[in-house]
Structure 1
Amino acid sequence: MMTFKNLRYGLSSSVVLAASLFSVLSYAATDSIGLTVITTVEMGTCTATLVNDSDQDISVVDFGDVYISEINAKTKVKTFKLNFNDCAGI
C-alpha cells in the first residue's frame, strides 16, 4: 500500500512538472507583445495638441508592430511633440 501511494504522488508530481515546462516554453516562443497606454491629460490654461514629425495633428502615437528584439535594442523610436498654445500667465 505504501509503494502505491509513493508511486501515485511521484507520477502526479511528474505530470505537474512536465506541464509547467511546456507552459514556460510557450512563453519563451513569443516574439512579440502588445501594449496599450491610455492616459488623461488635464487641460490647464493652455491649449494642447499632439503632433507628429511633420507637425500634423494626431490623436494616437502609432508604433505599429514592435518586436522584443527592438525593445531590447531600443531601436523602435517614434517622435512626437506636445504643442501648448494660448497659455495664460506665461
Structure 2
Amino acid sequence: MATPREQGFGQRLKRFFRPIVGYVKVLFDPATPWRIRMILAAGVLYLLSPYDLLPDWFLGLGIIDDLAVVSLLGLLAGRMTESDKRNGAE
C-alpha cells in the first residue's frame, strides 16, 4: 500500500470524499430508518447553520468544530445502524 506522499492527488481526493459520499448515500437511501436520517440531517443543518459552538473566524477552529460535530453524528448514525443490523430491527 502506498503512503499518502506516494499516492497521486486523485487518489487522495477520492479517499477524502469517500466518507462524504457514504454520508449522502445513507441520508437519501429509502431503506435508512428515519431516526438515522434525522441524525444525519442534523449534521448537515449544523454544518450549514450560521450558529456554531466556535465561530468560523475564531483562529480557524470554527471549521474544526463543524467537522467534529458532523463526524460524531456520522459515527453515531453508523453505530446505530450496526446495532439495528445486529438486533434485526428495521
- The answer to whether the superposition gives a TM-score over 0.5 is no
- Greater CA radius of gyration, 1 or 2? 1
The structure in which a higher percent of residues are helix is: 2
Q: Normalised by the size of structure 1, how large is the TM-score?
A: 0.31
Flag the structure with more relative contact order, 1 or 2, with Cα contacts below 8 A and sequence separation at least 6: 1
The structure in which a higher percent of residues are strand is: 1
